[in-house]
Every structure is written in C-alpha cells, then in structure tokens.
Amino acid sequence: MTPESPVQLLPASRRGLLLGVRGWSAVIAAVAVIAIVVPLLNLVVPAGHPLHLGDWGVALVAKIMCYAICALAMDLIWGYTGILSLGHGLYFALGGYAMGMYLMRQIGRDGNYRSELPDFMVFLDWKALPWTWSGSASFVFQMILVVAVPGVVSAVFGWFAFRSRIKGVYFSIITQALTFAGMLLFFRNETGFGGNNGFTDFKRILGAPIAAPSTRVLLFVITGLTLVGFYLLARAVVNSKFGRVLQAIRDAETRVMFTGYDPLKYKLSIWVLSAVMCGIAGALYVPQVGIINPSEMSPSSSMAPRAGSRRPSPNSGCTSSARCSSR
C-alpha cells in the first residue's frame, strides 16, 4: 500500500465565505446589476430606448434565477454529497403552493364570481375554506409554511430513506415516485388546491398590484439577492468541515462510518437544506410567472435542475474522513 500524500490545507481565500478580492468583486458587481442596473433599465430608461429592459426580459431572468437556486440545491446534494434526487420538484411546488394560497386570498372579491372564496372553490360549490387554508390570508404565516412544509416533508422522507441506507438508483427512483405521488394528489379537486388548473389570475401581493412594473422589479431584486445569498451560503457549507465530510461521504461512505462519523445526520441535514432552498425558489417563482399547478411536480420538472448542477470529480474533494477531520 502506498502512503497517502500529506494533507494540503485550503488557502485562506477558499475558507468559509472568504472569496478573495476577485470573488467579492464579482459578488458586489452581481448585486449592483441586480439591485441598481436592472431597475434603472426597466423603470427609468424610456421604452423606445435601445438600453430599455422590458417587463418580459425582467420576468424571464427572474424565472431563470429561481431555477438557478434549485440548481444550487441540487449541487449540494448531488455534486458534493453524491445523492441524486429526481424529486426536488415536489419541494419547489410545495413552496409555490404556499405562496399561491396567499395570492389567491388576496384576490378577494375581484374574482369572476365576486366571492371571498377562490373561483375554483365557487365553481366546485364549496361553501367554506377547508382547514388546509387556515391562516392563508396572512403573508407571514404562509412564508413560514414556505420553509416549514418542504423542510418537514424532506426531513421525514430523508430520515427513513437514509436510516434504511437506500442509495444509488434505488434512492433516485423512490424520490421520483414520491414527487409523482404528490402530483397525482394535487391533481384531485378534493384536496382543495385547484386540481389540474392550480392557482392563477393573481391580482396583488401585500396590497400592491402584482402586474405593476415596480412590483415586478422588486420581486426581481428579491429573487436575485436570494440567489446571491444562497450562493454564499452554499460556498460556506462546502468549504467548512461539514462540507468536507459531505464530500468524504460522496467518495467513500463506508470509510466515513469506520472512522466514527455518522453519515445519517450529515446527509439528512444537507437534504433538508436543499429542499428548503427549492421551496423558497418556488415561492419566488409563482408571483412572477403567475401560475402554479401540479405539473411543477412532474418528474421531468424535477430532473430539469440537474442540467444546471455539476458533480465534481472525486479528486476535487476529500477522499477520506481522516483528511477532512485534520483540515
């Protein structure tokens, strides 16, 4: 057996959030473009000017940024932990539905049937809101659900799956089956989530017209800053000792167990974090796209973020937990 090469410590610029001069310059430039340049090009520059950025362009870039958040989440679990999920569309949709419920309540009597109930409930001859809609008129309560529902669902599923040591293609198939089951459940009118049509025709958010250019730009800025924040968080995670253990689990989980680490808590933690990230992305996606329906839970939607994520080669991270603990 050949001895292992000496452990190389990470340079200071790669530890935690220390991005170095170039990295922080790129982050500051991105924030400036998101928070200053785009609002000016959309709201201040006249529509006929060559530099004007139309509402369609703002909405398109915002939608892409929502998917980029999902790609970051996939990179954490697949690229750095070796867990391939084909079901994260479920968590994206759960966050979107939580936001959509609030937006549907904000329609009020401006709907087609002039009722306090959402139009689809009036059409189905429902007389009152179901219990699942309790608190849906509160923005704060629904934002808590945006985080809590994907977090709880992913924690319960992850606990049983990782505790049973389900891995590889078997795990991927189970995640795909889970999101497909969720899609079929939300397709049913009896669940009270709009059936196959879902939620649409939103009017306002926090009292502001949702179609107003200023509202669109504000949602764009919030989405962009959220993406930057999650990027910094993801970088901090993967460059920490926790992240190096994740990479060791990806490369040799059995060796990690033999050296005294419990892979369950590491895998479960990163799994829940990635699900919450997708839920927040879904909540940002819905008011900007204007619709949420069960098709967002389809297996094809769940597989789309994989194209934006990457899986580093095993040589790019730790290959043993002994090295991770010594760094």
pLDDT in tens, 68-100: 999 999 999 999 999 999 999 999 999 999 999
260: left (phi over 0), alpha (psi -120 to 50) or beta: left
Confidence at residue 320, expressed as pLDDT on a 0 to 100 scale? 41
Confidence at residue 283, expressed as pLDDT on a 0 to 100 scale? 97
Confidence at residue 304, expressed as pLDDT on a 0 to 100 scale? 64
Confidence at residue 4, expressed as pLDDT on a 0 to 100 scale? 44
Say what the alpha-carbon torsion angle 284, 152, 107, 207 is, to the nearest 10 degrees: -60
- 50-75: string of b/e by CB count within 10 Å (b at 16+)? eeebeeeebbebbbebbbbbbbbbbb
Nearest to 23 by CA among 315, 226, 223, 236: 236
Work out the pLDDT band at 298, boundaries 50, 70, 90. confident
Enumerate residues 6+ apart whose C-beta is below 8 A from 95.
146, 149, 150, 278, 279, 280, 281, 282, 283
Two tokens, residue 259: 């050296």
The C-alpha atoms of residue 150 and residue 39 are separated, in whole angstroms, by: 31
Work out the pLDDT band at 266, boundaries 50, 70, 90. very high
Two tokens, residue 132: 């699942």
The C-alpha atoms of residue 168 and residue 159 are separated, in whole angstroms, by: 16
Q: How large a percentage of the chain has pLDDT more than 70?
A: 87
136-145, 237-246, 294-303: which has the minimum mean pLDDT? 294-303
For residues 106 and 320, the model is more confident at 106
DSSP symbol at 114: -
